[in-house]
Amino acid sequence: MSTTDSQSDFKVQSSEVNVQGSPFADRLLTLSDGRPGLRGTMPVEVCDTSDPTDSSDTLDFISSDETLDRYGETIQASGWKLSSYNRNPVFQNAHQYGDVIFTLGRALVTEVRAGKLYQRIQFATDVNPMARIAHGLYRGKFLSAVSVGFIPLRWENGTQETAFRRKYLEQELLEVSAVAIPANPNALALGLKSGALEKSDLRALADVIAHALDHREAPRTAAAERSADAALACHAPLSSSQRLISLARQLRDLLKNL
């Protein structure tokens, strides 16, 4: 079966996924520009920028080779279409766009190099304490993945002889996010112990979160906190307020022990 034949149930009309009959119908999410697409986690190699003229808040992210994900799928690096993302190359926390606190920085460079998706991310460390924490966690190797939001354009289905269930051959990149901070509640404590984070950064972030929640007049009852933590534990979708409540609780517990 040719690649074209294997994709006959998927059509692109005006650069939008045709949800009807799509094999991704149960996984489609609304991405940052309102179009339906997919999100997936990609492991990355993180290193300090080697250019001495760049600021110290900049890190290089190099996505791993075309690794199989938990769906048994792989993304071909040469198939990335980057023009849409480059029009607004923000680096978010956990695909959250409802509050400026979740904007961690921007991509100065996004391109494919030697079969890998390469990004140079400048973190907004001067103005956002969450960005300072994200930068420290990535630099200290406590975070080692990003999540990408993309629209599949062309793919090849696997067979019994292939290691993959599906290989994406062309895909339009729309979003890049840090994996939820902290992806593991221990990440903050370990980052602090190692020196990757400063106590002042945690206190500054706690103050910003408190201000954001007060501004929204969001309930911060024990029940609301438990609900946010339970949703986070089972990977259920969280609102911006729920994510802030959960992170605020973890910061509160950690700061008690400082």
* 110/127 Cα distance (integer angstroms): 23
Contact present, 112 and 80 (Cβ < 8 Å): yes
Q: What is the pLDDT of residue 64?
A: 84
Pairwise CA distance, residues 220 & 101, whole Å: 18
Chain segment 8-30, per-residue pLDDT in tens: 344 333 344 564 456 778 888 99
pLDDT of residue 146: 95
Q: Could you read off the pLDDT of 132-158 as tens digits, one per residue?
A: 999 999 999 999 999 999 999 999 999
Rounded average pLDDT over 232-250: 72
Assigned token pair, 228: 């946010």
Give the CA-trace dihedral at 123, 126, 129, 135, to 10 degrees.
30
Q: How, if at all, do strands 80-81 and 166-178 pair?
A: parallel
